[in-house]
Structure 1
Amino acid sequence: MPSSTPDGGPEENPAASAHTDKTTRSSWIRLVTVLIGLTAVVGGMLLAFALPSIHGGPHEMKLGLAGPQPAVDAVAGNLAPDEWTVVRFETPEALAAGIQKREATGGLAFTAEAVDVYTAAAAGAPGAAAVTALGTVVAQQQQLPVRTHDVVPFPADDPRGAGLTAAALPMVFGGLVPAIALTQLFPGRNRLLLRVVGVVAFAVIAGAALTAILQFGTGSLAGNYWLTAEGLALGMAALALTVLGLEAVLGPIGIGVGAVLMMFIGNPLSALGTGSNWLPDGWSTFGQLLPPGATGSLLRANAFFGGIGSGYPSMVLACWVVFGLVLAGIAALREPDPAPVVDDPE
């Protein structure tokens, strides 16, 4: 019979009360920890998106110079070495050809009549604007007019390259969404191969579709359609397979790790709208080692420069594809979880 207090009410159990207090304290500690963690994540997201823009500017950007030796030496001597890397050309024609071959991002050619500014807007509009501003200052100092030449422009239908910049998020989502969706639709280790085949097939189809939209729909891309579509498919496959592999090894937390890595770090450091030389060296290097940055560089190289400069980002993306497949292979080779034992009733 339960004990009671003098007033007739049930007597409080000290052990149960202590257990309740302990559980309540644990819940509050967990809540505070989650709130601090979420705040750190939001703050990190702000830094990841804001700092590259705040500190954006020329960083070891290759500047071609052509013309009389004294004029070239005078300009080269006044450039900040951490902002510009000088590449010398014999003639203005050689300078223009060098920009098309990505030997320089832009350049200046000096003649007795004018200062000719050569840019490649498709390599990054901010970089082209910085070269133009530099040429304008030099021309004012020499009291000469400025003549501008956009050697590799964006297509006439999208002269500011808005479509290329807007492609960043669809590329990242194109890697995250299929990996998450197929994991939910086809769960389990025995369906891992099905998920891998699914994300690769999606990457091929989506790469072709997005390239068609950007090239034929909005007129934002130029160049060989199939080459560009192949590069975009490789990038989306690298994203999706990495997230899929992380989920297969780590479980649901793997999707979170992949999302943070690709969207909240890789996307702002991809430099798709500016070109990698517009970011500080450390961020630029790290960003180009992640799938969003490598995909953006490969897309730019294939769509505007005939594949020149596509080797490094292709190698980076291939490594991420292999990494994702290795993770999936590790998960597939794990021993299956033992089935629960059910006692037969006698």
Structure 2
Amino acid sequence: MTTPAAGPTQDPTPATWRTGFVAELRDAVSLRTISLVVAVLAVQLGFVLSYIGAFHAPKPHHIPVAVVAPAQVSDQLIAQLNAVTDEPVLVRAATSAPEARALILDRTVDAAVIVDTRGTTDTLLVASAGGPAVSAVVQQIAQTVETQRHRELSVDDIRPPAAGDGRGLSSFYLVLGWIVGGYLAAAILGMAAGARPANSHRTVVRLTTLALYAIASGLGGAVIAGPVLGALPGDFTQLWALGALVVFAAAATTVAFQTLLGILGIGLTVTLFVVLGNPSAGGAYPSTLLPPFWSTIGSWLPPGAATTAVRNTVYFSGHAIAQSVWVLAGYAVLGIIAAVAASMLHARRGAVVESPLPARAEATSGDGANWAVDRGQLV
């Protein structure tokens, strides 16, 4: 008995192919997909706008400067410096050269002009470890004013960056690494176990894991920046502790955003830390050289607070870091509270949605017909 040969396989008709393609296209290009792509585009354009907006035209404004001189000369010089167009400096009097040095080292002012009434050369004190760009701008302004007064100017950098800290940027790049590590670790845990933890206990476990990660990350960054590369001097233990706080603040904030918003929380984290936080952090240009928007927000975001705290810890014996530390601690604590509270709320909502109705209930209508309700289904 012979089996008839199978006939040739017929290709789908053009109409069938088109129908299938349209269905696949509709399935692939959903409203959710389009929304995510648009959100990514918005973040990208925001990145370009924020970085170029902050850095394309740095302009000094109210850089704090001290003047040491006899009263009559001091008043005249202060008035002359404060009268410079667009107010790039904000000048105050100091009683002596030691006081002026102390004001610089405790970060009250960025520079000081010491007038020598016995000669024709005055001295400008700067601390370029606090920001070489600011020191250069102040030197330029002071030189212009001194030339108008027919006097010479010498510059004394009383706190330059360490030999391994070119342009004084190592503090910023260390903070950048810590911040990125913090939010990436939280994001990866979210991708592996779900953006929203199942309950508050899972949230606490995730935050505890990230706290241990923050300790290790802070240690690693401090070792690389200090003993390995010799970029940042100062107390190693303080730098480690500060690094752990920075990493955990970034991680806890990310967990909070993820718990509240799901995957969109990662986008909000990137916007806050990278798009807005990095340009305003005072790395390349300190806040006194940034436009008003970035100058205002910088110290209230983790990258800016951390950069100030690291720089002042390493070079200025921890002066003027209280606000920065409180800001970082605030992000960490509020991140914990928001994440735990949001996970508890989600768990309660889930319990309400998933709670079963009575197994079966019957009701008899007026005409004797029986209706059965089984888990919300009419059968």
TM-score by length of 2: 0.77
Shift of 1:309: 0.6
Deviations 1:188-217 (A, max 9, x none): 425322210111111122112212211222
Q: Does 1:60 align with 2:67?
A: no
Letter aligned with residue 41 of structure 1: V
Which residue, 176, 187, 208 being the options, matches 1:197? 208
> What is the match of residue 369 of structure 2?
none
After superposition, the Cα gap between the structure-2 partners of 1:154 and 1:257, relative to the gap in structure 1 and judged at 3 Å, is same
Q: Which residue of 2 aligns with 1:7?
A: none
Q: Could you say which residue in structure 2 is the equivalent of 1:6?
A: none
Q: Residue 112 of structure 2 corresponds to which residue in structure 1?
A: 107
Equivalent pairs: percent with the same residue? 23
| 2:167 counterpart SS class | coil
* CA 29–194 in structure 1, closer or farther in 2 if over 3 Å, else same: closer
3-state secondary structure, aligned to 1:107: strand
Q: Which amino acid aligns with 1:219?
A: G
Letter in 2 for 1:84: V
Asked if 1:324 is matched to 2:335, the reply is yes
- In structure 2, the partner of 1:83 is 88
1:225 to 236, 240, 251: 236
More deviation in 331-340 or 193-202?
331-340
Q: CA deviation at 1:284?
A: 1.5
Partner secondary structure for residue 256 of structure 1? helix
Structure 2 residue ranges without an equivalent (≥5): 1-12, 357-373, 375-379
- 1:258 pairs with 2:263: no
Deviation at 1:38, TM superposition (A): 4.3
Q: 2:74 aligns with which of 69, 72, 75?
A: 72
User: Deviation string for 1:201-256 (max 9, x for gaps)?
Assistant: 11122112212211222222222221222222212111110001111222111122
Asked if 1:116 is matched to 2:123, the reply is yes
Take 2:36 and 2:156, find their aligned partners in 1: how far apart are those partners? 55
User: 2-side partners of 1:35 and 1:240: how far apart?
Assistant: 25
How many residues align structurally?
328
| Unmatched 5+ stretches in structure 1 | 1-9
Once the two structures are TM-superposed, the CA of residue 124 in structure 1 deviates from its matched residue by 0.9
Distance 2:175 2:329 in 1: 19
Tell me the residue number matched to 1:138: 145
Aligned pair partner of 2:50 in 44, 48, 51: 48
* Partner SS, residue 164 of structure 2: coil
Cα separation, 1, equivalents of 2:182 and 2:85: 39
2:172–2:307: 8 Å Cα contact kept in structure 1?
Answer: no
Q: Distance in 2 between matches of 1:184 and 1:30?
A: 18
Counterpart AA for 2:256: G
Matching residue's letter, 1:176: Y
Computed over aligned residues only, the root mean square deviation of the Cα atoms, in angstroms, reads 3.0
Asked whether the 8 Å contact 1:235–1:294 carries over to 2, the reply is no
Query: Match for 2:183: what amino acid?
Result: L
* Distance in 2 (alpha carbons) for counterparts of 1:273 and 1:233: 23
Q: Matched residues in 1 for 2:184 and 2:52: separation?
A: 25
Residue type matched to 1:105 in 2? D
Q: Give yes or no for contact 2:287–2:294 (8 Å, CA) kept in 1.
A: no
Moved more, 28-37 or 114-123: 28-37
Deviation at 1:155, TM superposition (A): 1.1
> What TM-score results when the alignment is normalised by the length of structure 1?
0.84
1:98 Cα deviation (Å)?
1.2
C-alpha change, 1:38 and 1:196, in structure 2 (3 Å) is closer
- Could you report, residue by residue, the CA deviation over 1:256-282 in whole angstroms, capped at 9, with x for unpaired residues? 211221111111111123322222333
User: Shift of residue 159 of structure 1?
Assistant: 4.7
Q: Decide whether the 8 Å contact of 1:158 with 1:218 is kept in 2.
A: no
Whether the aligned pair in 2 keeps the contact of 1:168 and 1:267 (CA below 8 Å) is no
